[in-house]
Amino acid sequence: MFGNDRVTNMKNSMLVLGLLFVVSFSIAITESIAAVPASLSGATNSQYACVPPFISQSAKPNIHFVLDITGSMKSHPYVRADGTYYPETGYWGYFKQDMYYRYDVSANTYWQENSACTNSDKIGSHGCISGRLLNYVTSNELRVYAVCSVSGTTA
């Protein structure tokens, strides 16, 4: 009998100690939350070290995209299975899609915009070739990438 009362008392004591711990922990958490100011603000960008302390001068980021011109990048991006040119389709390239061009060797510019052209078929005729057709014929995948990503400028 004596042994069972002792175990029961020990269990009760442990239960009371556990409850005291939970209550005191809850009070501590509640007080610490109440001590936090209502308007919390995170760290600002100026509080972070953007440049390591041993560097005296910062440089602008420099990003290079390296593309190869082997294999698929040389291929024609607009060729379909039937090989047909569709005038209503927009074709990316160096030429303006809704402008007509004429070939001029004497001015050393080769293709010049021809605003006097009266064609509207998006194909053209002699001295009046559609920019869409020129993009369709002259573009490769590397040129299309250059026009889309860096406005046609490649190094």
pLDDT, tens digit, 9 for 90 and up, residues 62-119: 887 777 777 776 777 777 777 788 888 888 778 888 888 888 878 777 888 888 887 7
Instruction: Give me the residue spans of the domains in the chain.
Output: 1-33, 71-150
**Cα separation, 155 vs 148, whole angstroms:** 15
**Cα separation, 113 vs 38, whole angstroms:** 65
Q: How many CB atoms lie within 10 A of CB 45?
A: 6
* pLDDT greater at residue 33 or residue 1: 33
Report pLDDT digits (tens) over 108-154: 778 888 888 877 787 877 778 888 888 888 877 777 777 677 665 55
**Is 111:145 a contact under the CB 8 Å cutoff?**
no
Between the two ends of the chain, the Cα-to-Cα distance in Å is: 95
